[in-house]
Amino acid sequence: MTRIEKRFEMLKAEKRQAFIPYVTAGDPTCELTAELILRMEKSGADIIELGVPFSDPIADGPVIQRATERALGQHVSLRRVLQLAREIRRKSQIPLVLFSYYNPILRYGLESLARDAAECGIDGVLATDLTVEESAEYCKAMASANLNTIFLAAPTSSPERLKKIAHASNGFLYAVSRTGVTGETQELSTELRSFVTNLRKFTDIPIAVGFGISQPEHVKAVWQVADAAVVGSALVREIEKNIGHVDLVERIAHFTKWLRGEAA
């Protein structure tokens, strides 16, 4: 079992749901990214999505696009993100998901990426723009290194396609809460419960919900219908807002607790 699978098994035994923050690696620096992840773990993060900066982030809204630009400005590459994972792994066993577009993975080489990612302590890979219909070679390479392959399931997908996505996913299945790019919303879709219920017809692995989760009320609502809540843009925005503050890490730790509904 991967660390991701073990974490969900533990949470299931404890009758709890997972909190999964997304961070863009290298924003504001790789050193601070490592500190943020270690501190967020102490503040209640169960799994971390480690975003690989990419020049054409078609699924990302403006907040994560700006984070990507800041990281790319420091020449943060996929290889540097793997080094960052290795540095985190020396101090923590928190499950790590490599969150990337497919182009950097393909350029790196599927077998090489799988081997190096596993060696650096990555537990799963999510290639946001890789279609399940074209994923056989990718899935085979990741499985050879015992890495989970996590796919996005959209509410607009047909039942037949959702079945394919669910079959290709392991570790957990990422349910996109709404259509469009990443970003914060005031209200979650009223169709979320039915979407997650429909997904459960095709798989018994954990289901995580992301896109638009930005408030404690959202996290709580997701936990009522799914196994995990993913928070990306709201967290990245908070990091952006506090760049330059000496207590940035502590501020993000407090924000993490607030999202989990634990802050005073």
Catalytic residues: 49, 60
CA gap 104, 113 in Å, rounded: 10
CA gap 223, 263 in Å, rounded: 18
CA gap 171, 126 in Å, rounded: 11
Alpha helices in 14-54 (DSSP H): 30-42
Q: Do strands 96-100 and 48-51 pair parallel, antiparallel, or not at all (unpaired)?
A: parallel
- Under a CB-based contact definition with an 8 Å cutoff, are residues 216 and 235 in contact? no
CA gap 28, 34 in Å, rounded: 11
Lookup: tokens for 162: 């959702």
Residues 6+ apart with CB under 8 A from 210: 20, 22, 174, 175, 176, 177, 229, 230, 231, 232
DSSP state of 11: H
Query: Helix, strand or coil for residue 69?
Result: helix
CA gap 85, 26 in Å, rounded: 12
Residue type at 241? K
